[in-house]
Structure 1
Amino acid sequence: MDTMAAQLGKIILGSRSPRRAELLQLLIPAEQIEILTPANSVESGFQDAHTWREIERLVSEIARTKNDDVIQQLEDAGRTDYQAVLTADTVIVCLEPRQVDDKVATLHVLGQPHEEGDWQSEVRRWFKQYYFGRDHWAVTALCLIDSTGWLHESVVRTTVTFRRADLKLLDWYLSTKEPLGKAGGYAIQEAGSMFVESIEGSLTNVVGLPLESLNKLLKDCEIDTAMSKS
């Protein structure tokens, strides 16, 4: 174990996502990171959110609620051996044209596919209606609260453009079951990358943890990162 890292307080990551843990290790030594998942799952509640302001407010609230949950667990355990608690929430946002006039569109948030029932049909519809040949956005809210209680927040948006329709590739992709448990029904860091034509913004944001923005938040907390040392 790195002696210096062992002397520093832990960075508590409140997440069930192994990808977020892997990304955080690019900034913070693994031995300085502790995973503590929120005790309660947070419902999305995006059904009536159709503007950027509404969506970003809700995704920030979810990240903040996760953070409060983890901090309460730490307080209940009498823990003070940490520098900060980090939580995040990622959603996929797409444009849904209205049938009356395709020039007028409303934003629509896609969650994870429903595992019960015919999830393949659900994801197939998403690709056909929202993804193929079109832009969509990955939106991640970061919430970092340091040991003094100071709140640091950020919302990051990345534009993803998918290639034109390839139904054979889509059928194969659905057979891998990779879409299950993924926001928007695909994983850009895995086989889902085969559909991507271009990305504008942070790639790690699409995975679930925008490292550029997170590095700034950590620096604001006076926490050294691999980027700050290079």
Structure 2
Amino acid sequence: LTHVLCHESAPRDPSPRLQKILQQLEQQKQSVVSVPDSIMEKLLEGRTLGPVLALAKIPTAPDLEKLCSHRPADISTKFLVLDEMMDPGNVGALLRTAHAMGIEALIALGGTDPFHPRAARTSMGSIFRVPILRLPTLEPLLTLFHQYDIFTIGATSDAPTLLPHASIPKKTVALFVGNEGKGLSPSVRSALDLLVAIPMSNTIDSFSINAATAITLYALNHPNRDALP
């Protein structure tokens, strides 16, 4: 954290949660600047985010090659790759999902912005827990994935292979998910090892991107994923 602001009325607020936050900040010797409530409301843009506002540095990007070279004890999905995802709310929700699923790094391709204010808010703190790497193009990423024998899977509603029937080798996996409206870009689709779709009712055309990603990650990280019917 670089700066912490709070409502000028915050110290008088009896909320146990708020008092605990202020106490923790004091214990960490983090200075807190009290500002008039009118100014805080402008900074929060009308959102009810609570009486404390913090400014933090963007986390340092991880060393992708180091992550690729590390072999986990269990075979699992290590990477979640977002392809040109434009809605920062979805990006933030996927950061939270990646955190919950134990993803080792989230990779944002092209115009995907994981540090947009809305993405940061929606992640509910996961933005500081999941290593994040931004890449303008696909090629350097695929080069490393091929070099370290990482199996690449794309989630798309029109894939010919259904997720429960997919034949997935016992390798480290990178899951690619695409733009909310257009899905995975043609260049990404053609470069991946496998495309999968989730079975669903024929009265709807797709899941939400966050629901689809959570379902796919859970299925891929199932301990008996090679035995799925």
When normalised by structure 2's length, the TM-score is 0.28
* Higher percent of residues as strand: 1
Q: Return the index of the structure with the highest Cα Rg.
A: 2
When normalised by structure 1's length, the TM-score is 0.28
